[in-house]
Amino acid sequence: MQKKIIIIGAGFGGLTSAKHLADSDFDITVIDKTNHHLFQPLLYQVATAALSPSDIAVPIRSLLSNYKNIKVILEEVVSIDKHNRAVQLKNSTLNYDYLIVAVGSRHSYFGNNDWEELAPGLKTLTDALVIREKIIEALELAEIENNIDLRRKYLTFVIVGGGPTGVELAGAIAEIAKETMIKDYKNFRPDDTKIILIEATDRILSSFDKKLSEQAKEDLEKMGVEVKLNTKVENISDEGVYTTQGFIPSKTIIWAAGNQASPLLKSLDAETDRAGRIIVNKDCSLPGNPEVFIIGDAAHFRDENGKVLPAVAQVAIQQGKFVTGIIKNEIQIEKRPVFKYKDKGTMATIGKAKAVAEIKGLKLTGLIAWLTWSFVHIFFLIGFRNRLRVMIEWIWYYLTKRHGTRLIVGK
Ligand SMILES: Cc1cc2nc3c(=O)[nH]c(=O)nc-3n(C[C@H](O)[C@H](O)[C@H](O)COP(=O)(O)OP(=O)(O)OC[C@H]3O[C@@H](n4cnc5c(N)ncnc54)[C@H](O)[C@@H]3O)c2cc1C
């Protein structure tokens, strides 16, 4: 009888695994709670109206439709029963011989979950659309507000967390609020808008070389972003953000500070790190259950130097491919190879023609880093139509400085 593989999650890790198992004799089921594979690195461009949702998301079913041995199920997995090798969906149970868990992560509010509604984070398409509407709505409210204090509050955008997502969002919001969209409003000027990036430690982009962090800070400041280092958020309310350096009145607060693993992982009843990620074996398997693999953002993997691998797409992709080699050859636990991560570099964009990149010891800034960033993102974006559309959108934006997708369609 054909052996069964279940893959939970069709993000970077799960989709890679599915594609690498497509030519095998296994019966594969891919389960995802959304119907699309999402290119998260460009989510901030949807949140800031530079791209449309369909530019960065592709239906999972269409990506896997050519493979006869792969079935796709749109459902949320509610728990995993590792003892009975079963995955529980809302109304049914599926059994597996091998399981790949690639469920990614969510943002963490460090125990202050009530902040989520006031300061949304950016992980899904829905998150991006909520943020997009918040930004455009704040500009609209400022346009009709004559009370100066209230207008100032509407025109103040606060981003919490100076990692790549926070930096990219701050730069993109500065571009729209100080340069591009501002032209369409009559009641305020570019100088009236404030973009504040709050970071708890003493530098932004702390995973990058120190010089690149400083360059990114300088670039952001030139674009009009106020970077507040060594500043911690103490509370968030309807009125604004309370920080260790004082209160900031704002209607638009965006959370980009910290990750936490999917609650589904708790049902595996295994050792986790503080972020809830499963501490996996060197072959990415679950300790005690060699038929279960945890990959990508859901896994805590320490490399040969004792460093925990970062939550980035390349780790998920490489682990996704690695575990399929073990499964296809049905390698017994004691003979399995050790996963080795090949770091292809990290980069973050700050704005038009501004980025920082660190590739195999090479440190790039400015236009060259931005061109590299643009090329890499277009190259890895899934789907030829999407690549073409994104390239056209970027060229259009570069020439006209106008964003196309500025509709408010929610409440
Ligand atoms: C805004 C943002 C920007 C980023 N920028 C970069 C970047 O520039 N470069 C980079 O390398 N990385 C970047 N990352 C990180 C990168 O996107 C992640 O590391 C990567 O997506 C992890 O892949 P994954 O397969 O582990 O999880 P994901 O890609 O998150 O996929 C998880 C999948 O699991 C599904 N799922 C979750 N729970 C369940 C469940 N219970 N049942 C069914 N399905 C479920 C989800 O719907 C999702 O499709 C960024 C992330 C974000 C949020």
Q: Over the stretch 211-263, which tens digit does the pLDDT of each residue have?
A: 999 999 999 999 999 999 999 999 999 999 999 999 999 999 999 998 899 99
133 and 222 together in one domain: yes
Ligand 1, pocket-test mutation among 12, 80, 165, most atoms within 8 A of CB: 12
| Mean pLDDT (whole number) for 393-403 | 76
| Mean pLDDT (whole number) for 119-143 | 94
Q: What is the position in ligand 1's atom list of the atom closest to the CA of 104?
A: 27
Question: How far is residue 204's CA from residue 227's CA, in Å, rounded to a whole number?
Answer: 9
Q: In the prediction, which pLDDT does 388 show? A: 86
Please report, for the domain that includes residue 263, its CATH number: 3.50.50.60
Query: Binning pLDDT at 50, 70 and 90, where does residue 380 land?
Result: confident
| Mean pLDDT (whole number) for 163-184 | 90
Helix (H, G, I), strand (E, B) or coil at 195: strand
**pLDDT over 80 at 409, yes or no:** no
Check if 101 has its Cβ closer than 6 Å to any atom of ligand 1.
no
Q: Which residues are catalytic?
A: 168
Nearest alpha carbon to residue 255 among 185, 335, 158, 175: 158
157 and 306 together in one domain: no
Output the CA 350–ligand 1 centroid distance in Å. Answer: 21
To the nearest 10°, report the CA torsion of 70, 76, 81, 86.
-30
Shortest-distance Cα residue to atom 3 of ligand 1: 41
Question: How far is residue 15's CA from residue 301's CA, in Å, rounded to a whole number?
Answer: 20
291 and 321 together in one domain: yes
Check if 296 has its Cβ closer than 6 Å to any atom of ligand 1.
yes
Per-residue pLDDT tens for 349-368? 998 889 999 998 899 999 99
| Mean pLDDT (whole number) for 68-78 | 97
Check if 70 has its Cβ closer than 6 Å to any atom of ligand 1.
no
Question: How far is residue 15's CA from residue 67's CA, in Å, rounded to a whole number?
Answer: 12
Q: In the prediction, which pLDDT does 383 show? A: 75
Q: In the prediction, which pLDDT does 37 show? A: 97
Q: Does residue 167 lie in a domain region?
A: yes
| Lowest mean per-residue pLDDT among 100-104, 141-145, 388-392 | 388-392
Residue 334 or 180, more confident:
334
| Lowest mean per-residue pLDDT among 309-318, 341-350, 396-405 | 396-405
Neighbouring CB atoms inside 10 A of 386's CB total 19
**pLDDT over 60 at 401, yes or no:** yes
Ligand 1, pocket-test mutation among 312, 373, 376, 381, most atoms within 8 A of CB: 312
Q: In the prediction, which pLDDT does 249 show? A: 98
- Quote the distance between the C-alpha of residue 266 and its chain's center: 22
90 and 183 together in one domain: no
Per-residue pLDDT tens for 2-44? 999 999 999 999 999 999 999 899 999 999 999 999 999 999 9
379 and 320 together in one domain: no
Query: Binning pLDDT at 50, 70 and 90, where does residue 179 land?
Result: confident
| Tokens (6 digits) for 133 | 């509407």
237 and 370 together in one domain: yes
163 and 244 together in one domain: yes
165 and 125 together in one domain: yes
pLDDT over 90 percentage in the chain: 83
Please report, for the domain that includes residue 138, its CATH number: 3.50.50.100
Query: Binning pLDDT at 50, 70 and 90, where does residue 400 land?
Result: confident
Nearest alpha carbon to residue 394 among 349, 363, 356: 349
| Mean pLDDT (whole number) for 88-116 | 95
Question: How far is residue 394's CA from residue 401's CA, in Å, rounded to a whole number?
Answer: 9
Check if 14 has its Cβ closer than 6 Å to any atom of ligand 1.
yes
208 and 145 together in one domain: yes
Q: How far is CA 267 from CA 102, 106, 296, 325, in A?
A: 14, 17, 18, 26
Check if 44 has its Cβ closer than 6 Å to any atom of ligand 1.
yes
| Lowest mean per-residue pLDDT among 1-10, 93-102, 175-184, 196-205 | 175-184
Domain span at residue 23?
Answer: 4-33+75-107+259-335
| Mean pLDDT (whole number) for 334-347 | 95
Q: In the prediction, which pLDDT does 395 show? A: 82
350 and 221 together in one domain: yes
207 and 218 together in one domain: yes
Strand partners, 241: 236, 248
Output the CA 148–ligand 1 centroid distance in Å. Answer: 41
